[in-house]
Amino acid sequence: MTGSEKRLEHARLIDGTGKNPLDDSTVIVDATGKITYCGPAERAPETPDVPTMDLTGMTILPGFIDAHVHFLFGPKQSGNSQDRALTTFQVAERMRQTLEAGITSVRDLGGLSVGYSSAQQSGLIQAPRVLTAGRIIGHTGGHCDATGPDGHNATGHFTILADDEQSARVAVRTVLREGADVIKICATGGMGSPHDDPDDEDLSEAEIRAVVDEARRHRGKKVAAHAQGTAGIINALRGGVASIEHGYGITEEACDLALAARTYLVPTLATAFNPMDPSKVSPLHFEKKSRWAERTRENIALAISRGVAIAMGTDAGVSPHAANLMELSHLVELGMTELQAITAGTLNAARLLGIDDAVGTVEPGKLADLVITDADPLADIAALADPEHVRMVLQSGVARRDTLPIRTPVTA
């Protein structure tokens, strides 16, 4: 089944809207890769000329969306790892693996150039469709600034520094000129940065407001804020950002602000749940992460209990690539139901990215981005993170992964 037109019969359907599953479903996909019918099998229209597959015992879900990845980051390579051609192929491979893990759309929040998005759209690479932020905006000496004592900054291609409202506006214009789909800023310090701490503030509230206003003036582009400590989270929320990334220091006051503004939280729990090898990071990084681990769990659990809108994001690149769906089990551990976690990784993430008119749910008129699994994600959601259980991934109706057993076609 390598083409777009297809009929999927008798699977359990979890459509991403938050509704209860439909135990015996039919999903029909047309030649353009769009869904024309999804619903009870007994009510499905006849399609005598459409290839049909019996998926009894399987579950169909929407393709998942990771709202926070960094494809440019990966394991350190030996040899000539700085060669740009080699980096390009490494990134393309990470993107392919992520797609085959069930992630059909992503938002890359720092480092990836728009060329990768163009390559995906034109079919040069098999990858999730991707929104890119390009370079990240922050202030001198903050989370974005890796300048060493000798003045050398090896990450200038990755960041852009702004130290007042006007330079913040110029930075926005610069990254938009470079093709950014979304603006990424630093509102706080971070775990891995050399000069600051997660509780330190980065861009001020006034500077964040300038960024948000400048992004709005350019076709309403959204702003995502790296914000870990409480003060910076509140600055970002008051400044009008669309999403708080990480949010480890979120409080009752910050939850109130997020709820009032309908701001999304992207918790990236993989960075808090995954153990860290102290031999592979700096002592400062290890100390900061260890100090924040339990605080993160408590505060994100608070945000979930308060009903703050959550979109799935993993910080893949800092956390492992192609293990994105383990994030769902972390959300469940902190208080979500399995169905809520699935919605965080489908409809909620699509709404945050502004692509919910096309993807995020299994509904007529939307693209057939689908994940077919032999697991029961409502009983064992962690099974989705095991590639053995992701049996098929469709992107716009085209099979990007297919390990289903050969079955006798159903006569429609």
pLDDT in tens, 81-128: 568 899 999 999 999 999 999 999 999 999 999 999 999 999 999 999
For 294-306, what is the mean pLDDT? 96
Q: How confident is the model at residue 165 (pLDDT cuts 50, 70, 90)?
A: very high
369 part of a folded domain:
yes
For 226-244, what is the mean pLDDT? 98
* Lowest mean pLDDT across 54-68, 191-205, 374-388: 191-205
Q: Are residues 141 and 269 in the same domain?
A: yes
For 282-289, what is the mean pLDDT? 71
Q: How confident is the model at residue 1 (pLDDT cuts 50, 70, 90)?
A: very low
393 part of a folded domain:
yes
> Is a pLDDT exceeding 80 seen at residue 199?
yes
Q: How far is 160 from 175, CA to CA, in rounded Å?
A: 9
> Is a pLDDT exceeding 90 seen at residue 284?
no
Q: Are residues 116 and 254 in the same domain?
A: yes
Q: How confident is the model at residue 3 (pLDDT cuts 50, 70, 90)?
A: low
Backbone angles phi, psi at 269, to 5 degrees: -70, -20
Mean pLDDT of the chain: 92
Q: Are residues 216 and 330 in the same domain?
A: yes
pLDDT score of 79: 45
Q: Are residues 377 and 253 in the same domain?
A: no
Q: How confident is the model at residue 348 (pLDDT cuts 50, 70, 90)?
A: very high
pLDDT score of 341: 98
pLDDT score of 15: 98
- Range of the structural domain that residue 368 is part of: 6-63+361-402
pLDDT score of 71: 97
The CATH number of the domain holding residue 90 is 3.20.20.140
For 45-72, what is the mean pLDDT? 97
407 part of a folded domain:
no
Q: Are residues 98 and 232 in the same domain?
A: yes
Q: How confident is the model at residue 4 (pLDDT cuts 50, 70, 90)?
A: confident
> Is a pLDDT exceeding 50 seen at residue 408?
no
Q: Are residues 78 and 88 in the same domain?
A: yes
For 309-313, what is the mean pLDDT? 98
Tokens representing 239 are 């400044």
Q: How confident is the model at residue 154 (pLDDT cuts 50, 70, 90)?
A: low
Q: Are residues 46 and 58 in the same domain?
A: yes
The CATH number of the domain holding residue 57 is 2.30.40.10
pLDDT score of 287: 74
% pLDDT > 70, the chain:
92
pLDDT score of 278: 67
pLDDT score of 191: 83
Please tell me the total count of domains within the chain. Answer: 2
For 168-192, what is the mean pLDDT? 95
Q: Are residues 121 and 249 in the same domain?
A: yes
* Cα→Cα distances 5→1, 126, 262, 365, 394, Å: 9, 19, 38, 14, 11
% pLDDT > 90, the chain:
82
For 269-297, what is the mean pLDDT? 77
Of 353, 377, 394, which closes a domain? 353
Q: How far is 124 from 128, CA to CA, in rounded Å?
A: 12
Q: Are residues 232 and 370 in the same domain?
A: no
Per residue, what are the HEC states of 251-269?
CHHHHHHHHHHCCEEECCC
Q: How confident is the model at residue 411 (pLDDT cuts 50, 70, 90)?
A: very low
Sheet with strand 64-69: strands edge to edge:
64-69, 103-108, 129-132
Q: Are residues 365 and 345 in the same domain?
A: no
* Cα→Cα distances 136→98, 147, 258, 275, 387, Å: 23, 15, 22, 26, 32
Q: How confident is the model at residue 148 (pLDDT cuts 50, 70, 90)?
A: confident
412 part of a folded domain:
no
408 part of a folded domain:
no
Q: Are residues 207 and 88 in the same domain?
A: yes
- Torsion on CA atoms 105, 111, 117, 120, rounded to nearest 10: -70
* Lowest mean pLDDT across 154-163, 332-341, 345-354: 154-163
* Cα→Cα distances 21→24, 61, 408, Å: 9, 10, 26
> Is a pLDDT exceeding 90 seen at residue 149?
no
For tokens 């392919």, what's the residue? 96
Higher pLDDT, 30 or 83: 30
> Is a pLDDT exceeding 60 seen at residue 77?
no
pLDDT 10s digits, 363-394: 999 999 999 999 999 999 999 999 999 999 99
Q: Are residues 70 and 166 in the same domain?
A: yes
1 part of a folded domain:
no
> Is a pLDDT exceeding 90 seen at residue 289?
no
